[in-house]
Amino acid sequence: MDNVDLKAHKSYMRWCIDLAKIAKKRGDSPVGSLIVQNGKIIGEGIESGKTQIDITFHAEIEAIRDATKRIERQDLSDCILYTTHEPCIMCSYVIRHMKIPIIVAGITTGEIGGFSSHIPILLDTIIKRWSAPPTIIKGVLEKECSALHD
């Protein structure tokens, strides 16, 4: 990753952190997510599982929903997903289905994570209908993302 990429990754992650602060303020888990296509934000997601009383309202899924509505297709193979937290197992399935090739995450989530858990769906190569596992860039603004839990 060169300095131009890192500068862009940090910029988009700051946006995700701002979205996560909105979630935290309203009582949801502090997670924010973006979908970026060719340098343009096409989807935003704010964690809303508690306020919506629906577990599927994770920030990553909300960003994907927003993006697919805007571009009117489900193939996101030309996009990057940014998120303050490593996508969970549920979100990881959606990410793989939508063919997102690059994931940029602030912090890992351990036992429920899509790449750091014992069920690393983001790294799976057995399910033949999925394309190659996405490139995972972790630790972007890690301290700032971790501080969302203070």
Q: Say what the pLDDT of residue 49 is.
A: 97
Superfamily of the domain at 10-149: Cytidine Deaminase, domain 2 (3.40.140.10)
Domain range list for the chain: 10-149
| Cα dihedral 52, 95, 15, 43 sign | negative
Beta bridge partners of 104: 82, 137
pLDDT average per 10 residues of sequence, the chain (150 residues): 79 98 98 97 98 97 98 97 98 97 96 96 94 96 96
Half-sphere exposure of 60 (CA within 13 A, CB side): 27
Residue 3: predicted pLDDT? 58
Q: Which residues participate in catalysis according to the annotation?
A: 60
Q: Is 39 left (phi over 0), alpha (psi -120 to 50) or beta?
A: left
The pLDDT assigned to 31 comes to: 98
pLDDT of residue 143: 98
What pLDDT does 110 receive? 87
Q: Exposure string (b/e) for 6-30, b if CB count within 10 Å is 16 or more?
A: eebbeebbebbbebbeebbeeebbb
pTM, 2 dp: 0.96
> What is the pLDDT, as a whole number, of residue 36?
98
What is the pLDDT, as a whole number, of residue 7? Answer: 93
